[in-house]
Structures are given as C-alpha cells and as structure tokens.
Amino acid sequence: MKIAVCIKQVPTREWQPRLNDAKTWIREQDASYELNEPDAYALEEALRLREKHNGEVVVCAAGPARVQQVIREALARGADRAIHVEDESLASADAAVTSAALAAAMADERFDLVLTGLQSDDQGHAQVGVMLAERLQIPHSTIIMEVQIEASRLRVKRELEGGWFQWIGMPLPALLTIQSGINQLRYATLKGIMAAKKKEIRKVPLAGGLAATQQIVALALPTRSKQTHMIAGSAPEAAKELVRRLREEARAL
C-alpha cells in the first residue's frame, strides 16, 4: 500500500495577523508556522493504515523553502520519505495552482491512496484535495471520519451536515480529504526526530505556465457586523456588569 499525505504549513493559531505594505498578503517574516491541523489528522490516518496494511507513507508538500519544517515533523512522526515542490510563489498560491503543482510531482508515483486535510487554516479554499483527485484521474470523497480498506476497495465514512453520516464505497486508487478528529494524534518521539534526519526529501521544481485563477485585491481585519459592547474592568467588575446587562438590557437571563 503506497500512501501519499499532502501537508501544508500555515501560521500558528497564536499568530496575530500583520499585513504587507500593499495590504494584499500577510507579512510572512512576522509569522511563525506549524503543520495545518487537518493535515495532521490525515498524516495520522496514513500512519495507522500503514500499520494495518504495510507499505509506505510519502509526505507531499507544495510551498516555499520554510515548509521543510513541517515536512521534517511529519517524517519524525513516522512518514517514510517526502516530496517537496519548492517555490517561493507557492506561499500564497490558489488551489488550482497548488493542486497542479502537486499533481505534476505525484503522478509518476502511482499512489494507491492519497490523503489530504479537508482544508487549510490559512486561505481555506477546501479545494486542493478534490482538484488533485481530478488531475490524477482518481475517484475521491471528502470530509472523511473513518477509512476501511478491503482488497482493492475503499469504504469510507463521510460526514454530512447536522450530525449525519454516510458510508461511500469506491475503488483504489483514490483520494480522501480527512476531517479533524478522525483519530487521536501521535507526536514525534526523540527516536523519530533522529530518524527523520536521514529520510529522503526529494525536491521538485515548480512547473512553469501555471496561471493564478484568483487575485487577492485587499486583505483587512474583518469589520464587525454588530455593535459590540466591550465590558472592561477587573474580573468581578466585568462579571457584575455583564450579568446586569444580560438581565436588564438583553433580558436574556
């Protein structure tokens, strides 16, 4: 079983956004980065499937040089090797470009199964996985909460809205986008970190001729849709004022 996991590096949850001078992208030099959380679940699922069905787990990423940080982390958690489509322009690429970059680097590997997170915590297009399936000409399903493999077929539990689920069958090879919470994550051990240093990261240049499908005209802090009454003061003062307002003004208590 040859499994690919596509991962992305995104700003950390604690990151406070700052914009470039043109206000069209973030100031990358101020950001600290981490593994996109849904991708961490996809990686964990791949490692569990390898434990059950043998084979190898290959981490695939499309991004600038700094992405090596999360590739090393994935290798330390147990992935066998990595493919890195490296180009600075990929930092802010849209989903059509990112999926084309990954597809070009991954096609010859003929993976049995490709896993991605269901969306990224930066641009959040939620398109790369599905577009990658189309480019690799394999079937897909999205927002997956359980994966079963029998012979050359998949049976996966897909999350629908409002607490509903559905099992979907499909032949391998296939691509799945993985929902957060599908499993419990493991973290890298010291042994894993040491072993990762010797694992192969194959660098692939970005193919030319990929045209952006969208342009960010402006980035800004969101505007408030409501007039928010901010309540200041010490904790007891703020608590007292909030309870008063909820009782007298909002009549919600």
Which is closer to other proteins, CB of 13 or CB of 191? 13
Q: Which of residues 168-197 bind other proteins (CB under 8 A)?
A: 168-171, 174, 179-181
Contact between 205 and other proteins per CB under 8 A: no
Task: Tell me whether the omega of the peptide bond preceding residue 17 falls within 30 degrees of 0, making it cis.
Answer: no
User: Minimum distance between the CB of residue 198 and other proteins, rounded to whole angstroms?
Assistant: 33
User: Minimum distance between the CB of residue 90 and other proteins, rounded to whole angstroms?
Assistant: 16
The span from the CA of 211 to the CA of 91, in Å, is 15
User: Minimum distance between the CB of residue 192 and other proteins, rounded to whole angstroms?
Assistant: 22
The span from the CA of 2 to the CA of 104, in Å, is 17
Among 143, 178, 196, 210, binds other proteins (CB under 8 A): 143
The span from the CA of 112 to the CA of 29, in Å, is 38
User: Minimum distance between the CB of residue 45 and other proteins, rounded to whole angstroms?
Assistant: 13
Torsion angle (degrees, nearest 10) of CA 35, 39, 44, 46: -130
Q: What are the DSSP calls for 94-140, one per residue?
A: -HHHHHHHHHHHHGGG--SEEEEESS-SSS----HHHHHHHHHT--E
Number of chain positions touching other proteins (CB under 8 A): 76
Contact between 159 and other proteins per CB under 8 A: yes
Among 21, 108, 161, 248, binds other proteins (CB under 8 A): 161
Per CB under 8 A, which region of 11-19, 55-63, 71-79, 83-91 contacts other proteins?
Answer: 11-19
Contact between 36 and other proteins per CB under 8 A: no
| Rg of the chain, C-alpha, whole Å | 21
Among 1, 91, 109, 139, binds other proteins (CB under 8 A): 139
The span from the CA of 2 to the CA of 132, in Å, is 17
